A and B are shown apart, each in its own frame.
Chain A
């Protein structure tokens, strides 16, 4: 069966520090991968998606970047965090010919 992992679960970082969040999927190959951000009490905002290794599409201009160094690994990064980067970050994957997405447990990021 397929599983999706995210780490860390929680993170507190000072403004101006770098960021690296990791997402890995097991039990499938060549998934579509997604990064979302969720503000408190709000819906999800799509940040990045990837249809293959090294292929990244950005949905909104921002202080973040994404990379997909391996088929089932998706990384969200920032060189210098802003206060506005605080939020709940969710990774998701979708299989071939499947329309629903499967979400990881999320990372709670607080920028202080």
Chain B
């Protein structure tokens, strides 16, 4: 079953605004990852945050993780038209051996010029 659940399912904002997407999960994790998918393409890894981290930055991306609430958020600052895509969180419970990511249903982000 899908563990990660993103909200909102769809988000439409103006270029230059910030976009925030949330992800909730149900069980303990080793790390949580965010991926982007442009329409009809494969997924691209954006950022990984470990269970002992609370916040991580990468360029215009900011990810937070609250393990007590089992939730994460992805913030994209100063959005651009090229940020239009679907964004997925994926939880990783494995410590060693085979890794199995569990993906959420995704947030479809539209940046309006």
Contacts and interface: CB of A to CB of B under 8 A. Distances in A.
Contacts, number: 56
Interface of A: 32, 36, 41-44, 46, 49, 51, 57, 59, 88, 90, 92, 94, 99-106, 108
Q: Is the interface of A mostly helix, strand, loop or mixed?
A: strand
B46 to A, nearest CB: 9
Contact of A100 (B33, B88, B97): B33
Contact of A90 (B31, B42, B99, B108): B42
Interface of B: 2, 4, 30-31, 33, 35, 40-45, 48, 88, 92, 97-106, 108
A84 B74 CA distance: 33
28 contacts: A32-B99, A36-B103, A42-B105, A43-B2, A43-B4, A43-B88, A43-B105, A43-B106, A44-B103, A46-B100, A46-B101, A46-B102, A57-B98, A88-B40, A92-B42, A99-B30, A99-B33, A99-B48, A99-B99, A100-B33, A100-B45, A101-B45, A101-B99, A103-B35, A103-B43, A105-B41, A105-B42, A106-B40
